[in-house]
Every structure is written in C-alpha cells, then in structure tokens.
Amino acid sequence: MSHLVVGTAGHIDHGKSALVLALTGTDPDRLEEEKARGITIDLGFAHLRDGDTTIAFVDVPGHERFVRNMLAGVGGIDAVLLVVAADESVMPQTREHFDICRLLAISRGVIVITKSDLADEETVELVRADIAELVKGSALAAAPVIPVSARSGAGLDRLREALRALAAATPERRERGAARLPIDRVFTMRGFGTVVTGTLVSGAVHVDEELEVVPGERRVKVRGLQMHGEPVVRAHAGQRVALNLAGDDVKNLSRGQVLVHPGTLKGTRTVDAWIDVLPAARALRHGARVRFHQGTTEVMARVSIVAMPAAADSMLSIGRGEGGYARLRLESEAAVTRGDRFVLRSYSPTVTVAGGRIADPAAPAGGVRLEPTLQRFATLLAPLRGQANAETEAQALMVAETGPQGLAATALTWRMRVAPDDVTPTIRALVESGRAIDVGGRLVDPVWRTRLTERVLAALDAHHVAEPLSEGISREEVRERVLGNAAPGLAELVIHDLMKAGRVRGSDRLSIAGRDVALTTEEARVRDAIDQALRSAFLQPLESARLAEVAASTPAAVEKILQLLVRQKIVVRLDGMPFHRNSLERLKSEIRGLKEKVDGPGISVATFKDRYGLSRKHAIPLLEYLDRERVTRRVGDSRVLL
Ligand SMILES: Nc1nc2c(ncn2[C@@H]2O[C@H](COP(=O)(O)OP(=O)(O)OP(=O)(O)O)[C@@H](O)[C@H]2O)c(=O)[nH]1
Ligand SMILES: [Mg+2]
C-alpha cells in the first residue's frame, strides 16, 4: 500500500480544481462562497485509488490574496501538480507557487498544461517553452509536461500514468520519529464532535492515543481515525488523516497548531536558520518584519541578520538571489524543529521573498553580532547540507552551549529532531566520542567535569585559608554554593571523583585531604585548657565566660575552639551548655549500672539532681539527653531504665 500526497499549484483560474475533479470525481471546492464565485478560497481535498496506491490531492487557491492558504496546503505534500493554462501560459502566481515549491524543496512533480481544448498546437508549444524557461535548473526541469483538457478528457490517461509513475518513484516517508501532524482543518461533526485533518509529517498515530497540541501544551485523545473516509486504527507518515478528538482541551483548535506525541515538540519564538532570498525579490534587510510560514503555521517574525561585530546594521542584508544566516524572532509561538523548511513573505506588499531551513528551533537569547554566533551557524548547518558525521558535531555544540546545566536528553528530540528510538544510541555516540558525559539524563560537556573539580578545590582551599579551624565546607554548601549552576548529577559526580581520587575527604563536611585543622600554639593551649576544664567539671555546667577565665582567653576564641571540638565530637552541647564526651559516656554507664539496684518507678528528677548535685534547670537537659540516647525513657515525672 503506497501513499502519495500531491498538491496543486498555479495561477488563478488555470483549472486546478477542475483537474482534481476530473481525476478523482470529487469537487475540491466545498465552500458555498467558492461555488458562488467560481474560485478556490481555501484548501480542498480529494483522492484517487489505483490498485494499492492512494493519491491524495490537496487543491490550493490560485488567487494572490490566498497564497497563505496555499502555503498551509503545500507544507505536507510529496509532489506538486504544477498547472499552467494553455490560453494564459505562465502568470504571476504560477511563478510564486513554483518559487514556494522550490523554497520548500519539493523536488518531485508533474507539469500539466490545462485547457488544451482552448489552444492550438502552436500555442501549446509556446506554453511549453515558457514552462521550460520557468523550471530551468530546478528539480522539475526533467518533469513530464502533459497537455490535458478537463473538459474533453484529453490527456487525462497520460496524466494518470505519470502520477502512477510518480507514486512508484517516491520513497515512503520516515515512520521513525515522533508523530507530528500539522492541523490544516478543524470542524465539528454532529455525533462525533471535533475532527481535525492533516498530513502526518512523521511517526504514526493510533486510536486511543493521547496527543499534545503545540503551541498550547494541551492534551487530547484520539477517539477515532479515518483515512479517505474509512475508519482505521493507525496512520503513519505520509498519509492524510482525519482525527476525531476527545478531551476537555479539544475546544479552540485551529490550523497552524500541531498534534504530537507529548513532550516531543515545543512551541518556540526564536529560531536560527539559513535563508535564501529569491532572485526576483528585494534584499532581506536586518530588522525586516516578515510573515513566517511553516507547515500549516503562519506567524509574524522579525529578521536579525547574523554578521560580524563590525558590520553596521544598515548594511546588513541578504541580497537577492543570495543566502545567509539569520535569527528569526517570532511574534507568537510556532511548533517547529531542526531541519524544517519555511517560507518568508514580506509584510507589505504581501509577496513571497525568501525561504529557508531551521538550524535550531530554540536559539539562545541575546545578540547575533558575535563571532561565535557565526561559528554556531556554520556548525549547525553543515549537516543539513549533507556533510557526513557533522550531526554529532552539531549536537556536541548544543551540549556545550548549555554549560554545566547540561542538555536534557529529551531536547535531542524536540530540538535536534532525533527520533525517540534513536535517543539512546545518539547519547552513546556522544559519550563514546568524548563529546558529552551523561549525568542522570542530562548531557554535559566533559570540560565541566574538570572545571568544576578545579572550582571545588579552589573553594575548599580558600576556605581552609580563611578558617584554619574549620574542618571544611558542608557537602550541601559545596553542592549549592560552589556547584549551584551544575546539573545535580554532575555535582555529585565531581564530588565523587574528588573523593575517589583521594583529593578530598569527609562525609558531612568536605576538606582537602592533608589539610588538617591547623591550630596555632596559642589555640592549642586554649584547646587543652578547655578539654581539661570540661573533663574535671564532669556534669557541672561551665558557662563560656567561666571557660574563658579558666583558659585565660577571650570568649570569642573559646567559642571558636568549642565549635571545633563539637565538630570533632569531643564536646557535646546540651541546651547550649558544653560537656566533655567522656563525661557523658561516664554518665550513661553509671545510669545503666543503676538498673539492678533501682526498682519500682525508676529515677525521679529529684533523685537525679541530688545524685549529681545539679539544679533542676541543669538536670533536665541531661535527662533528655539520656532519653535520646535510649538509656532512659520518661514516664510522667520519672525515668524508667531501659
Ligand atoms: N475549456 C476549459 N475550461 C476549463 C478547463 N479546466 C477548467 N476550466 C474552466 O476554467 C475555470 C477555472 O477553473 P478552476 O478549476 O476553478 O480553476 P482553478 O485553477 O481551480 O482556480 P482557483 O482555484 O481559483 O485558482 C472554470 O470555469 C472551469 O470550468 C478545461 O480543461 N477546458
Ligand atoms: Mg481552484
């Protein structure tokens, strides 16, 4: 079963719709107004079945005012049916439609000279010459040119034959990749609800599947699928489908939105692109306001021409017939991705001026007047021009640009157009070639592993110098203050690297290995004095003023040493009061030793304070400490020994 989507193209009244009707039996003009005025206004659809080949026709309007509708129609076609009337030959919209097809790289097609019944052979030959001139040097230069009359039926069989050959020669579209369906029509059907139609650009959709609407980030469910009027359970790339949608968010859908597998495409407002300006158009200037057309989307955009820092704005333009780099700032979101082709029309007069290809659908914010920007464009565009293996370079560039934050692996799909099935092998290729490290689903440039290692060492070193008594920086602070802008997985990896290499040690606090707490002689004396004083005080409280006196030092110096001793677990503070570790150990063993001797309700607060000669105020924190240490358990005002 093969599928071909063919779009008509050509000047108004040249017989495009009549030809589709003659080929398929379906009149593509369905609107009252179209029938009344005898012109096509919006897209029309019809299809032809030939053995196991289905040819879907998208019939476009020729009127110059409706080129935007034509653009929405040709976004998803495989081939063009370029129509030129024998009695008028090549006209302005013949050229404009053909330009659009070229800009969108539609490289297959059949050329039809319609209304052959209205012209003699000589005239038809002149039309042939005009056509040859038009398509010279293009992909359609060798396309068949077939005179046809929709009125008499002459030439229709030859045309059908040519279409059949076209279908046979056209490769099936990529089914790999995430589903992507630009909406070209939305309507409601009694008994069904909302129906949207479009051509599946990539991937496949199934009945009962959930899809996301982009832009808008709404979810809808596929209640039913139809292809050419018949229900199906699945449709794939290259097929025209009608989807019956369900869900709370199904209201207000419109042409230009795209249905995708959730999370595989995002709305964007800044894109980096290559632009080709048509030979017959005016130069595209920096700052120009244009209409950006991609798929079925149309949004206004502002062009920033990318050039070297020295170039003056007024000189910045891409000349007629030339190509160049540009950043497009869209005035509203569009659902586009890398590699997409688009068309630009000038704001006023509304004519087609250029087209191009998206290199990055989520260009970084900021100016384009920087030398690295030129390099960025060159790297991103090389693979789109067919340079082998350059895609890995382009991916590596995007990874590098995200710095220590890293690029989410999912961005490979929505930003780099990597099919979901190809994400894992792509990551592997980046990692194996040394372009990225994979930290918990984020890809980071390996230079950050080294840079952040240095950063941690420098921070620890500075800390040791500033606070020789400190035993390092808490792990949390290292993560948040020192490595705060790094992907969490990378921060962990860097700390792990340093510990494994033996350069950093610690658990709660990290310090540089070998940089032990350095006490001055005076500090060591104070420490020993405090140590001694606390040991001999046993459980008697020693306020810091008193400790300073005993140690012949200042309260501030004593406090610093006390903090060090607390961190070293030599001193324990209970309610702010310092006790020597040994005192508390002795207390615990003494109380445990009472177990055999005491019976009944255990020890009361009164017994405890009398035993150790403490005030009630000082006894309570010690008893609570014993509870916490599971030596005792409080029952009412008493302690049971455990
Ligand atoms: N004599 C003759 N008239 C034709 C032929 N094909 C179309 N016509 C007439 O030409 C007029 C325009 O035909 P359409 O098919 O509507 O032309 P179109 O290209 O679809 O026009 P737009 O969609 O508005 O751009 C109609 O009156 C048709 O009847 C033909 O082969 N011979
Ligand atoms: Mg028409």
If one counts every other C-beta atom within 10 angstroms of the C-beta of residue 286, the result is 20
Instruction: Write out the two tokens for 534.
Output: 């606390």
Instruction: Write out the two tokens for 586.
Output: 């002795």
Res 564: pLDDT: 87
pLDDT one-digit tens code per residue, 243-286: 999 987 778 899 999 999 999 999 999 999 999 999 999 999 99
Cis peptide leading into residue 349 (ω within 30°): yes
Res 471: pLDDT: 80
CB of 97 within 6 A of ligand 1: the answer is no
Kindly give the distance from the C-alpha atom of residue 132 to the centroid of ligand 1, in angstroms, as a whole number. 22
Which range among 199-213, 382-396, 584-598 has the greatest average pLDDT? 199-213
Confidence of residue 600 (pLDDT cuts 50, 70, 90): low
Atom 11 of ligand 1, residue of closest alpha carbon: 13
Confidence of residue 603 (pLDDT cuts 50, 70, 90): confident
Res 31: pLDDT: 92
CB of 61 within 6 A of ligand 1: the answer is yes
Atom of ligand 1 nearest to the CA of 93: 25
Cβ-proximal residues to 236 (8 Å cutoff; 6+ apart), any chain: 175, 200, 203, 204, 205
**pTM, 2 dp:** 0.82
CB of 63 within 6 A of ligand 1: the answer is yes
Q: Tell me how far apart the terminal alpha carbons of the chain are, to the nearest angstrom.
A: 81
pLDDT one-digit tens code per residue, 516-552: 777 888 888 999 999 999 999 999 999 888 899 999 9
pLDDT one-digit tens code per residue, 55-75: 999 999 999 999 999 999 999
Kindly give the distance from the C-alpha atom of residue 200 to the centroid of ligand 1, in angstroms, as a whole number. 30
The C-alpha atoms of residue 303 and residue 342 are separated, in whole angstroms, by 14
Q: Strand 352-360 to strand 341-346: parallel, antiparallel, or no bridges (unpaired)? A: antiparallel
Res 599: pLDDT: 65
Cβ-proximal residues to 241 (8 Å cutoff; 6+ apart), any chain: 181, 197, 198, 199, 200, 205, 225, 226, 227, 232, 235
pLDDT one-digit tens code per residue, 35-44: 999 999 999 9
Kindly give the distance from the C-alpha atom of residue 18 to the centroid of ligand 1, in angstroms, as a whole number. 5
Instruction: Write out the two tokens for 12.
Output: 């108004």
Residue 298: pLDDT over 90? yes
CB of 76 within 6 A of ligand 1: the answer is no
Atom of ligand 1 nearest to the CA of 40: 23
Kindly give the distance from the C-alpha atom of residue 4 to the centroid of ligand 2, in angstroms, as a whole number. 20
CB of 17 within 6 A of ligand 1: the answer is yes
CB of 417 within 6 A of ligand 1: the answer is no
CB of 40 within 6 A of ligand 1: the answer is yes
- By the 8 A CB rule, do 440 and 434 touch? no
The C-alpha atoms of residue 94 and residue 86 are separated, in whole angstroms, by 13
Instruction: Give the full edge-to-edge strand order of the sheet including 473-474.
Output: 473-474, 509-512, 504-505
Res 601: pLDDT: 64
CB of 115 within 6 A of ligand 1: the answer is yes
CB of 296 within 6 A of ligand 1: the answer is no
Residue 8: pLDDT over 80? yes
Nearest listed ligand to the Cα of residue 152:
1
Res 543: pLDDT: 87
CB of 39 within 6 A of ligand 1: the answer is yes
Atom of ligand 1 nearest to the CA of 18: 15
CB of 114 within 6 A of ligand 1: the answer is yes
The C-alpha atoms of residue 179 and residue 206 are separated, in whole angstroms, by 10
Atom 14 of ligand 1, residue of closest alpha carbon: 15
Among 71, 64, 14, residue whose Cα is nearest residue 43? 71
pLDDT one-digit tens code per residue, 364-381: 877 787 778 888 999 999
Atom 8 of ligand 1, residue of closest alpha carbon: 15
Averaged confidence pLDDT in the chain: 92
Atom 3 of ligand 1, residue of closest alpha carbon: 115
